[in-house]
Chain A
Amino acid sequence: MAHTESSAGSATPAAAAAVAAAVDVATRPFALVGHFESPAQLYRACETLRDAGYEHFDAHTPFPVHGLERAMGLPASKLPWVVLCGGTAGLSLAVWLAYYSQEVWYRHNIGGKEAFAIPSLIPIFFELTILLSSFAAFFGLWAMNKQPEFFHPVMQHPSFHRASDDLFFIAVEARDPKYDPVATRALLETLGTRELAEVAP
């Protein structure tokens, strides 16, 4: 995996890009990555890390493991607020558009109804509210996940292609104050983590 580009931001000077990745990893890895074979093991590992005071670690799983956020100590998603804003914007847009197009710009008496006859405008209010809420949910999701992001350091782990299949990865980031190359590795090994490897940034 090409990681030299993204390593430019690390302490290593650009000239050292040619140096073997192993040296780079040894000086400042991005994270210590390993995997488990079951969600239950991963869950216990996350609980242990959380209780040991780690904050910058992540799990990578083929499907959402329910309750893992509690084991990891993560807060709830803020996405609903984004969607609420989208919905409000959609409803406002619909009311504005209906008012100006029907009442102001192109006023006509149709079927004896008032120009801005609310009962007959509700379908349009509704649809635009849903449309903009959905856009907010969709784009909000990718924005909050900072995706598309086609390269991420954890993808360099030799078995990471199975993170979408049947392995449950744990990645403890080096920036975590509790991170220690030896102690963290030892902790993860006692939890039964397999194929532990440090990945470059």
Chain B
Amino acid sequence: MSHAPEVLGDAPDVADAERLDEATGKKLVKVAGAVAALGLLLCIAAYATDAKRFAFSYLTGFMWVVTIGLGALFFVILQHITKAGWSVAARRHMEWVSAILPVAIVLAIPVILGAHDLYHHWMGPQAASDPILVKKVAWLNPGFFYARLAIYFTLWATLAWWFARTSRKQDESGDVELTHSMQRVSAPSVLLFALSLSFGAFDILMSLAPHWYSTIFGVYIFAGSVVSALAVLALITVGLQGGGWLKRVSTVEHQHDVGKLMFAFTVFWAYIGFSQFMLIWYANMPEETIWFHDRWQGSWKAVSLTLLFGHFIVPFCFLLSRHVKRHKRALVAAAIWMLAMHYVDLYWMIMPTLDTGSAHPSWIDLAGLLGPLGVLALVIACKASRGPLYPLRDPRLAETRRHVNL
């Protein structure tokens, strides 16, 4: 291998903390804020036009940002649990992304308002006469459902807030003990995370088709979350590096690692997706196959194939090469592509409940995406413009600076 390691600048110290300059920060917040405002306006218009469709469209966009935030939270926890050294700067960026989770409590309000449309199969009056749903009523009833949602979102918000806050505290104090305490908390956190994400996936997404069940569904959502969070991380990393920041803590080697992880989780997503599909397809039991059958009708078939090629085969071939992962524009293209595919994945899971027989994309779907997307961008922009761009006094900062891929 002949790549010469980039030469890093002097060791960072607190005196010349790397922050976004005020003008850039303001500009970012303005642009993101404009997108968010436009998105929210469109959302209101969409709600006024077709409240039912809007509920589904909004759920898709909402889950798109929530899963990205969850993937980011997982990344943060994972870096602590594994005592990772390469990812010190990346961890801070993922802390920004996970800051969407506290905001998601507010963003969830339209979902709650639209719940009777979204979950009409089991919330509606016909559920009482459905022999299968009657057996599930202890789980699938509105009161318990809302209580569970409250638990999930509170937990996610607390974890995201706590890890980001403790990390920021270390910026001020440089206390090594804070690293230890984040490590200690990370192990039980990952357990809570796994359970809440799985049940959250069952409740919010799987119960849209309340007869259907799949034990791997939580893992499938998890895989998509991590891929898309890493895609956002790739955008932030390349964006900041390209703008001339992070000169002292992040090189093409770190970008390469983000690319590798994105590649690995793309393969993981395909593995989980294939396991779920193949086992159901093979056994061919009506109550399970129906879910995939619905997604093989009319134009849904094209969406299914788009996922197969767009979420796996194409990015797999593209990201296989190390040159792509180390090339800034190529990695950005791959990241945007994966984010789009993650949206398609959610669309494919959620919308067939409404658009049975065939997909009917509408401007309302775009509104449902643009609102949450704008808020996510705004959250990241605010976080990025307000604090240091990397943990200034992380004890592993020296290690991250030395990082080279073999």
Q: Which residues of A contact B (CB under 8 A)?
A: 66-67, 69-70, 74-77, 111-112, 119-120, 122
- Whether the Cβ atoms of B284 and A77 lie closer than 8 Å is no
Given contacts A119-B278, A120-B278, A122-B274, contact A75 B2 (CB under 8 A): yes
Residues on A with beta carbons closer than 8 Å to the beta carbon of B11: none
- Say whether B4 faces chain A, with CB atoms less than 8 Å apart: yes
Number of A-B contacts (CB under 8 A): 22
- Whether the Cβ atoms of A119 and B281 lie closer than 8 Å is yes
What's the nearest-Cβ distance from chain A to residue B143, in Å? Answer: 41
- Whether the Cβ atoms of A76 and B277 lie closer than 8 Å is no
Identity of the chain A residue whose Cβ is nearest the Cβ of B277 in the assembled complex: A119
Q: A69-B2, A70-B2, A119-B278 are in contact. List 8 more A-B contacts (CB 8 A).
A: A66-B406, A67-B404, A70-B4, A75-B2, A76-B2, A111-B282, A119-B277, A120-B278
Across the interface, B284 reaches (CB within 8 A) one of A66, A74, A112, A122, namely A112
Identity of the chain A residue whose Cβ is nearest the Cβ of B283 in the assembled complex: A111
Residues on B with beta carbons closer than 8 Å to the beta carbon of A76: 1-2
Identity of the chain B residue whose Cβ is nearest the Cβ of A73 in the assembled complex: B2
Residues on A with beta carbons closer than 8 Å to the beta carbon of B274: 119, 122
Residues on A with beta carbons closer than 8 Å to the beta carbon of B4: 70
Residues on A with beta carbons closer than 8 Å to the beta carbon of B404: 67
What's the dominant secondary structure at chain B's contact region?
loop
Residues on A with beta carbons closer than 8 Å to the beta carbon of B406: 66
Task: Give Cα A75 to B284, complex, Å.
Answer: 53
Task: Give Cα A74 to B2, complex, Å.
Answer: 7
What's the nearest-Cβ distance from chain A to residue B286, in Å? Answer: 13
Task: Give Cα A75 to B282, complex, Å.
Answer: 48
Residues on B with beta carbons closer than 8 Å to the beta carbon of A77: 1
Residues on B with beta carbons closer than 8 Å to the beta carbon of A112: 284
Given contacts A69-B2, A75-B2, A76-B2, contact A119 B284 (CB under 8 A): no
**10 nearest A-B residue pairs (beta carbon):** A76-B1, A119-B278, A76-B2, A119-B281, A75-B2, A70-B4, A120-B282, A66-B406, A69-B2, A69-B1
B:370-406 near A, CB below 8 Å: 404, 406
Task: Give Cα A70 to B404, complex, Å.
Answer: 13
Task: Give Cα A106 to B391, complex, Å.
Answer: 63
Residues on B with beta carbons closer than 8 Å to the beta carbon of A70: 2, 4
Residues on B with beta carbons closer than 8 Å to the beta carbon of A66: 406
Residues on A with beta carbons closer than 8 Å to the beta carbon of B2: 69-70, 74-76
What's the nearest-Cβ distance from chain A to residue B289, in Å? Answer: 12
Identity of the chain B residue whose Cβ is nearest the Cβ of A64 in the assembled complex: B406
What's the nearest-Cβ distance from chain A to residue B403, in Å? Answer: 13
- Whether the Cβ atoms of A122 and B278 lie closer than 8 Å is yes
What's the nearest-Cβ distance from chain B to residue A83, in Å? Answer: 11
Residue contacts A-B, CB under 8 angstroms, 15 given: A66-B406, A67-B404, A69-B2, A70-B2, A70-B4, A74-B2, A76-B1, A112-B284, A119-B274, A119-B277, A119-B278, A119-B281, A119-B282, A120-B278, A122-B274
Residues on A with beta carbons closer than 8 Å to the beta carbon of B281: 119
Residues on A with beta carbons closer than 8 Å to the beta carbon of B277: 119
Residues on B with beta carbons closer than 8 Å to the beta carbon of A74: 2
Annotate B96-128 by CB proximity to A: 1 below 8 A, 0 otherwise: 000000000000000000000000000000000
Annotate B1-24 by CB proximity to A: 1 below 8 A, 0 otherwise: 110100000000000000000000
Residues on B with beta carbons closer than 8 Å to the beta carbon of A111: 282
Identity of the chain A residue whose Cβ is nearest the Cβ of B5 in the assembled complex: A67
Task: Give Cα A120 to B280, complex, Å.
Answer: 11
What's the nearest-Cβ distance from chain B to residue A96, in Å? Answer: 19
Task: Give Cα A70 to B2, complex, Å.
Answer: 6
Annotate B281-321 by CB proximity to A: 1 below 8 A, 0 otherwise: 11010000000000000000000000000000000000000
B:23-66 near A, CB below 8 Å: none
Residues on A with beta carbons closer than 8 Å to the beta carbon of B278: 119-120, 122
